[in-house]
Amino acid sequence: MILAKTGNEAIAYAMKQINPDVVAAYPITPSTEIVQIFSSYVADGEVDTEFVPVESEHSAMSACIAAAASGARAMTATSAQGLALMHEMLFIASGLRLPIVLCVVNRALSAPLNIHCDHTDSLASRDSGWIQIFCEDAQEAYDTTICAIKIAEKSFLPVMVTIDGFIISHCMQRIEVLSDEEVKSFIGEYKPNYNLLDVENPITLGPACLPDSFFEHKRAQAEGMNQALRYIEEVFKEYKERFNRELFILEEYHTKDAEVGILCMGSTSGTAKIAVDNLRGKGYQVGLFKLRVFRPIAVSYLQRSLKNLKILGILERMEGLSAFGGPLFNEVRSVLYDEPERPIIISYVYGLGGREITPEEIEEVFLELLSLKNKKRENIEKFRYINVR
């Protein structure tokens, strides 16, 4: 079926078809609509979900944790300060290995106050032990949300699915949806690892682990993330086989013969594809890498795809405030460190607080990279900005 949906509507629709046992949420722009629309599905009896309107995002994640620990399929959505307020509980969800799915509508973090898109909120949660998958558009958001349930429940890791605030969350797009039965049969029954309410088999959950055992728990959790890419691959593969829709871990656009590349995440990849088309039309061999999975880091994919480039521009929608670039730049650069031949890598911070990015600006970046590709890497200024006054 083909529908016209905004990114938020597409995610809410996927949630309706998933029909989770519990949704606990607190509203925040620009993610509010997801739970607002979902709550009307609850009110209209279209889902069986227990909807818990909590008093804060901290409580939203707490309620999801309690629900998931009691054997329920739990979901929520948030943005920016809401995700920041959840931060403490994010680590508890992942430490308890609870397969919660959280839809993040990317928005800048205050201060100064801003409600528009950048990736600071999601990227600031990168070390919380959650799988993170960035989506380009409403279609990808819909498909990824459904897959996220299965990835989470196979890996026993919580999953964040992100879309770009307003740019995707509030833009109407054409999406193809599956039938309710198809979604139901794809995600299957949730088989929890444990159930806190099972009085026949009592457990202690989240015990105190002092210096004699905490370390081992973290090592075991790390192994969960080490194995996670395998589950993402499995689920994406099955999704393609069943519904003929391909989801990528690292999508490549005109990269085969490219010496010059740009890597980015989220909605900007759509803009960058136009830039690539325009430059290809003029004979420039440039290509785009759209990174979808930021946690776990898709090491093998990045190494294989990027090592033969001469120069790579990393478009980062976050100012890392590290005096050495943001997390996307640093992690991709680190992944390539062991390659004997590796591209020059330049960080381009762009689009903070919803500052628009155009195909022309991305074309300029490509042209700049082309002009720098034969220069000595130590002579090149690595940290650049797009359209900052």
What is the contact surface with another protein in residues (CB under 8 A)?
95-98, 154-156, 193-194, 201-207, 209, 212-213, 215-217, 219-220, 223-224, 227
Shortest distance in whole angstroms from residue 236 CB to another protein: 18
Shortest distance in whole angstroms from residue 205 CB to another protein: 5
C-beta separation of 178 from 366 below 8 A: no
**CB-wise, 220 or 388, nearer to another protein?**
220
**CB-wise, 194 or 383, nearer to another protein?**
194
Shortest distance in whole angstroms from residue 215 CB to another protein: 8
In whole angstroms, what is the distance from residue 307 CA to residue 288 CA? 14
Shortest distance in whole angstroms from residue 206 CB to another protein: 6
C-beta separation of 7 from 163 below 8 A: yes
**CB-wise, 154 or 254, nearer to another protein?**
154
By CB atoms closer than 10 A (0-12, 13-18, 19+), residue 48 is exposed
**CB-wise, 111 or 208, nearer to another protein?**
208
Residue that is written with structure tokens 């759509």 in the block:
270
Shortest distance in whole angstroms from residue 232 CB to another protein: 13
C-beta separation of 137 from 166 below 8 A: no
Residue partners of 86: CB distance under 8 A and separation at least 6: 57, 58, 60, 61, 78, 102
Shortest distance in whole angstroms from residue 97 CB to another protein: 3
Shortest distance in whole angstroms from residue 85 CB to another protein: 23
Shortest distance in whole angstroms from residue 366 CB to another protein: 42
Angle between helices 7-18 and 138-155 (to 10 degrees): 40
**CB-wise, 84 or 89, nearer to another protein?**
89
**CB-wise, 227 or 330, nearer to another protein?**
227
What's the token pair of residue 356? 């628009």
**CB-wise, 203 or 388, nearer to another protein?**
203
**CB-wise, 97 or 290, nearer to another protein?**
97
What's the token pair of residue 341? 């031949």
Shortest distance in whole angstroms from residue 218 CB to another protein: 8
C-beta separation of 183 from 18 below 8 A: yes
Residue partners of 379: CB distance under 8 A and separation at least 6: none
Instruction: State the pairing for strand pair 101-106/74-78.
Output: parallel
In whole angstroms, what is the distance from residue 222 CA to residue 115 CA? 34
Shortest distance in whole angstroms from residue 95 CB to another protein: 6
**CB-wise, 36 or 195, nearer to another protein?**
195
In whole angstroms, what is the distance from residue 161 CA to residue 140 CA? 10
**CB-wise, 113 or 220, nearer to another protein?**
220
In whole angstroms, what is the distance from residue 126 CA to residue 121 CA? 9
* Four-point Cα dihedral 167, 170, 172, 174, nearest 10: 70
By CB atoms closer than 10 A (0-12, 13-18, 19+), residue 204 is exposed
Residue that is written with structure tokens 């069986």 in the block:
48
Instruction: State the pairing for strand pair 286-291/250-253.
Output: antiparallel
Angle between helices 80-95 and 214-243 (to 10 degrees): 110
